[in-house]
Structure 1
């Protein structure tokens, strides 16, 4: 029941975000439009429109996951699957202005941590949908790299006026190509006698890092002590 009310409030808020942003004005207008008691609305979204913006982002993550499950990716190269996931996540949102306003909101110092958690959460969701099972330091590097690719592509998309966002998808392909080039360079370095030993030593130490079983407050990080 509470999820239905929260969804109604969020839908109502989207009618005002383009004009008032993710603000208290939007929150109050949404509460009035949805016919929800202000006390109930505040209970569902304690920080008002800020929590609504977070819910809006997570709604996009859910939509992406559902769409990816409906697409046959068995014959696709892995890099193409990554590009598809990022593109699907962006296309899962119809309201570009709501994303623009959210980007502005989470660029503010007091909400920057919330924004970082959301981007990390999206990257983690994508890797999970792609079947990633790494539980070592690679888990973090993959998500950190994808977070950079995803966030830069979103920013490009917000200013893209090309037909069917063609320029954005070309930009995305270039970013993924940069990542693949970097991975190839790492592989070459590992094969050299001296630097290869340095890499091996570093990776052995970093191999003690483990993703937490229960992520608190959306924050990644954990350390498995040697036994």
Structure 2
């Protein structure tokens, strides 16, 4: 993987779920996929869907109020969109903010999915700013002056909606890469070394080492 990172076919991924407190019962509520071309979001290839969790969901601070019970009740169940997810995610180089959280949830429900690599924009930011105490996606989007671009590419979406977060991660990545010593000349191998999560199979499933 010594090619420039912009030459790689990357895919930004974000999931919204019921929350880690549900453990093995955590449900997917929404998913968005944003492919990148030449290091920029390729909006023509964007895909998003809400997902019917099959049960009522209590309000939580991390669940967008836009994801109402009515919207989720009329959304397709996960099995109806599994083929769409597989087509867009399986054996791709995936990026996201705290991507390990999204990947664990996705693999919990679709364990046959594989990723070529997982690149975490939160991990990349912490590499660049090791003293930073806060690195939420919405905070970094404001810090890097990307708010207008996110709104333009994800209209009518807000933080904690899958499309907003996926588009935000796709825009944040090149901004962060510019702060690396190699800048635009950064290779995919270097990016994966700095911000990648190692996948290690255990007990028949993929786990992530941070």
TM-score (norm 2): 0.32
Q: Which has the higher helix share?
A: 1
Q: Which has the higher strand share?
A: 2
**Higher Rg:** 1
TM-score (norm 1): 0.30
